[in-house]
Amino acid sequence: MSKFLDTQFSITGIKNFDVPTSYSKYDLVDFEYFTGNFKDPLNLSGLYAWFNLDNLNNLEFDSSGRVYKWYNSAVGHEIGEDLHNENTVVDTRPLYDKYRNCITFEASISDIPYKVNYLSTIGDGFNNFLTGDRCWFIVYEFESLRQGDYGYPIKPNIATIIDTDLYSETRYPTNCATSGFLSISGNNEIYSWNTNVPTASQQFIINPTGQSENSPLSVNSAFSASRVIKNKNIVSIIKNNNTNNLRLRNNGYELLNLTTEHFNSGCSGLRLGSAVNSHANNTLNADYNYDGSNISYYEILGFAKVPSDDDMLSIEKYLFEKHFTNDDGLYIAKYNFTASDYRYAPINITGEDYLTKNIDSVFNKTYGCSANFATKAARINYGDNYYTNVISSINNLNTEFNLQYNGLTDTQARCLIGFFQNTFEYTPKTIVDSYENVNIDLFFPYKNNSKIYFSDLQYNSAEANLNSINIKCLSAYDSNLDYRGYQVTGKEVTSFFDENKAFYKNDIVYYKTNVESEKGYYWYTGIDNTIPTHNQRPTGNNSLFTRSFYFQPDLDFQMSVSPKFIKTEFDSSAAAFENYGINKTSLEFNYNLSNRSDKEAQAILKFLDVNGGFKIFEMTLPSPYNKKIDVYAPEWNHTYKFKNNHDISIKFLEFKGLTDSDIFFNTIIKL
């Protein structure tokens, strides 16, 4: 573990990821892609191809915004060694994805003949590759793999990663044994012939002539160590042209190391997105039809040499550090296991099963979790107890969640403390972002997969090997401008009103209507299992639905009345008391709603969530007051006490000036 990391932790015992090493469940494992320092590609001789997106000037866009040129950043390269697409059919050109900083190539099977995007070198491409050693490092990601029915029973599509064998069309299909082609075959979650590899692992195809899956050519026997769909990964191809040694590596794990003529002399071009040899042509061996799928490229490096192992690791490290933000760092061991090789790295499929950053998969949140909400609305006061709430941003609610982790063993407590502290180590994905948030499932009835930031941790020791931890966390990026709401957004609380549905008390519906003032959420207050009539619908004359706060507080509630008055007092005189305006009393009170069921708690919290801490709504005060008033709820908190048992407390402030009651007076007011 690096010294920088170690200084950030209050616990000890963090292990480095290494192979072969054994780990125990709840071990904290510091994963770095490889030890040592990365090497800038410019510092390694033989650089001929370097396609990166460090600068948008590396791309040329056509008038439709598509990319028709990706400049080679290798020093001294020729024009033909850039990647081009001068095809007059512009939708064969890829697109630049500014959010992911990659170039995306699409393949459309629905078009006949189907369309693929591509970029390729011109002419003989890389002249120095015609006869010499070579290696490629590619950072790519498949969005999806085109499924095909190209054989019996279902032969998935073969999807190109790179084709370096552009100008040897005559070889195909008779002399493919020397082709410089790398692709992925199918998706073995649907179609699998190799049960020895994890599902989601994809077969790498170098020789696309289509051998039987049950006895593939040795160059086609490798399965990816990492997920290739919706997941960045690095593939490295190292070819010694003298010994014909070919090595294929994926995310640090060596998949192949054998002698073969593939990627041999003549494989001197580069084509991305699809293969060139009319492979998409159905007349050519359609059973093994291979070409493009939806693929994105982040960076590609080519060297005219066989790098040393150290150089190879340095370049892989360089790509990893650059493109795998926050994939390194601290992981939690989910099980006892031995990392026998780099398939167990957490960025690979096997490693995902054993190492995780998802604490929901390792720790149980326990009863006692709570949430506190407070509005950031600015209150502007006028005379006579009138005021308005001004919302200064789309995120007007401050939300703090307290996550309770009870019943932890010493080992678990150490692990959770370490994980907590490590979240402050995350790096931002872009220079203007905050450091990366934690994805976590909150608790009922709040969002799953919420993006939060940890802020405080409170540790308590109850006994040897019995501990509890409370983590405070903040929600930063949720906005209640979303019609679904702010934090209470589940399907059961965002459904549209259905006039054929039977309703139960505290059901929540979203009522769509052209009348803007009547649009929104309503709460059902009738008896259970009722299909409302037309008049009982949310805007009906005898509606069983309401937008008022109809929930009752506990029997033991308090409410103080503190009318305003003006008291003028000098040092040497008795105080003088004067009337204060027309709205002397503006109530400020709290409701406690204890021991409420899941359903009622969800309805209450959704009500507060919808009103966002500043919107005005009606409520009828309990006896002996019994008056209907307008209020807003700037603060509330909620505790999940036990299953089907919630405590909620809400602060209400009375709002004057909205309803008819303030307009009609029985007394003449003299101002």
Report 141-200 residues binding other proteins (CB under 8 A).
none
Task: Indicate which single residue of 642, 658, 659, 661 sits in contact with other proteins (rule: CB under 8 A).
Answer: 642
Report 408-447 residues binding other proteins (CB under 8 A).
410-411, 414, 443-444
Question: Counting contacts by CB under 8 A, is residue 643 touching other proteins?
Answer: yes
DSSP strand pairing (15-16 vs 28-31):
parallel
Shorter beta-carbon distance to other proteins: residue 143 or 360: 360
Closest C-alpha to 455, from 476, 429, 483, 482: 476
Question: Counting contacts by CB under 8 A, is residue 12 touching other proteins?
Answer: yes
Q: Within 10 Å of residue 12's Cβ, how many Cβ atoms? A: 9
Task: Indicate which single residue of 383, 407, 428, 563 sits in contact with other proteins (rule: CB under 8 A).
Answer: 407
Tokens linked to 257: 């190391």
Closest C-alpha to 653, from 372, 394, 387: 387
Task: Map residue 386 onto helix, strand or coil.
Answer: coil
Shorter beta-carbon distance to other proteins: residue 189 or 410: 410
Question: Counting contacts by CB under 8 A, is residue 25 touching other proteins?
Answer: no
d(CA 9, CA 422): 8
Is the CB of residue 613 less than 8 Å from the CB of residue 374? yes
Task: Indicate which single residue of 8, 175, 644, 659 sits in contact with other proteins (rule: CB under 8 A).
Answer: 644
Task: Mark 513-552 with x for binding to other proteins (rule: CB under 8 A) and - for no binding.
Answer: ---------------------------------------x
Report 548-577 residues binding other proteins (CB under 8 A).
552-555, 557
Is the CB of residue 420 less than 8 Å from the CB of residue 404? no
Task: Indicate which single residue of 211, 221, 372, 406 sits in contact with other proteins (rule: CB under 8 A).
Answer: 406
- Stretches 5-13, 29-37, 82-90, 607-615: which one binds other proteins (CB under 8 A)? 5-13
Task: Indicate which single residue of 35, 326, 364, 460 sits in contact with other proteins (rule: CB under 8 A).
Answer: 364
Question: Counting contacts by CB under 8 A, is residue 22 touching other proteins?
Answer: no
Number of residues that bind other proteins (CB under 8 A): 37
Closest C-alpha to 367, from 444, 434, 435: 444
Q: How far is CA 576 from the centre of its chain?
A: 63
Shorter beta-carbon distance to other proteins: residue 5 or 122: 5
Task: Indicate which single residue of 320, 331, 497, 640 sits in contact with other proteins (rule: CB under 8 A).
Answer: 640
Task: Indicate which single residue of 35, 460, 579, 597 sits in contact with other proteins (rule: CB under 8 A).
Answer: 597
Closest C-alpha to 474, from 423, 432, 429: 423
Is the CB of residue 198 less than 8 Å from the CB of residue 187? no
- Stretches 141-149, 162-170, 484-492, 595-603: which one binds other proteins (CB under 8 A)? 595-603
Task: Indicate which single residue of 66, 596, 606, 656 sits in contact with other proteins (rule: CB under 8 A).
Answer: 596
Task: Mark 610-639 with x for binding to other proteins (rule: CB under 8 A) and - for no binding.
Answer: ------------xx----------------
- In DSSP notation, 602-645 reads HHHHHHHHHHTTT--EEEEPPTTT--EEEEEEEEEEEEEEETTE
d(CA 484, CA 469): 32
d(CA 522, CA 653): 22
Task: Mark 457-496 with x for binding to other proteins (rule: CB under 8 A) and - for no binding.
Answer: -----xxxxx------------------------------
Is the CB of residue 321 less than 8 Å from the CB of residue 133? no
Q: Rg of the Cα trace of the chain?
A: 33
Q: Is the dihedral of CA 357, 360, 365, 369 positive or negative?
A: positive
Nearest distance from C-beta of residue 1 to other proteins, angstroms: 16
d(CA 462, CA 221): 55
Element (H, E) at 411: helix 410-422
Is the CB of residue 153 less than 8 Å from the CB of residue 254? no
Closest C-alpha to 417, from 359, 463, 367, 354: 359
Nearest distance from C-beta of residue 555 to other proteins, angstroms: 4
CA distances, 512 to each of 324, 518, 541 (Å): 44, 8, 17
Give residue 101's identity as a one-letter amino acid code: N
Shorter beta-carbon distance to other proteins: residue 67 or 621: 621
Nearest distance from C-beta of residue 359 to other proteins, angstroms: 13
Shorter beta-carbon distance to other proteins: residue 13 or 65: 13
Task: Indicate which single residue of 193, 367, 477, 565 sits in contact with other proteins (rule: CB under 8 A).
Answer: 367
Phi and psi torsions of 366, nearest 5°:
-115, 170
Question: Counting contacts by CB under 8 A, is residue 335 touching other proteins?
Answer: no
Task: Indicate which single residue of 13, 36, 383, 428 sits in contact with other proteins (rule: CB under 8 A).
Answer: 13
Shorter beta-carbon distance to other proteins: residue 185 or 602: 602
Nearest distance from C-beta of residue 489 to other proteins, angstroms: 18
Chain residues binding other proteins by CB under 8 A are 11-13, 364-367, 369, 406-407, 410-411, 414, 443-444, 462-466, 552-555, 557, 594-597, 622-623, 640-645
